[in-house]
Amino acid sequence: MEIVSTNINGTLVVMPEGRIDSVTAESFQTALLPFLEDVTAIAIDGSKLSYVSSAGLRVFLMAAKSMKSKGGTLALFGLVPTVEEVFVISGFSKIIPIHPDLDCALAA
């Protein structure tokens, strides 16, 4: 799993690539933790995610709760249909906003 990040107008944009599953969820969480302490707005680009398992969903939930506890926001955008379906079916789309693209995520 590769993770690239950039700051756009005060929002940290995180771009993970590959699968977030039981093998990679811990490394994804470890990579996210420093970001959760330093910023108040994170947008995660899901356009290069091929799969998210329940272990991956737990990392997203932890990140969303962490951001909410400090008055920050976490949003997803650009999810491929199969990954978006995981968030919708699991109910996580009610917890973490999903936007079609970066511009919509930044506007929200």
CATH, residue 81: 3.30.750.24
Summarised one tens digit per residue, pLDDT across range 74-104 is 999 999 999 999 999 999 999 999 999 999 9
Mean pLDDT over 38-58 rounds to: 96
Q: Is residue 1 pLDDT above 90, yes or no?
A: no
CA distances for 101 relative to 20, 22, 79, 95, 104, angstroms: 20, 27, 9, 18, 6
* Number of domains within the chain: 1
Q: Which domain holds residue 42?
A: 2-107
Q: Is the pLDDT of residue 66 over 80?
A: yes
Give the model's confidence band at 32: pLDDT under 50 very low, under 70 low, under 90 confident, else very high: very high
pLDDT of residue 35: 87
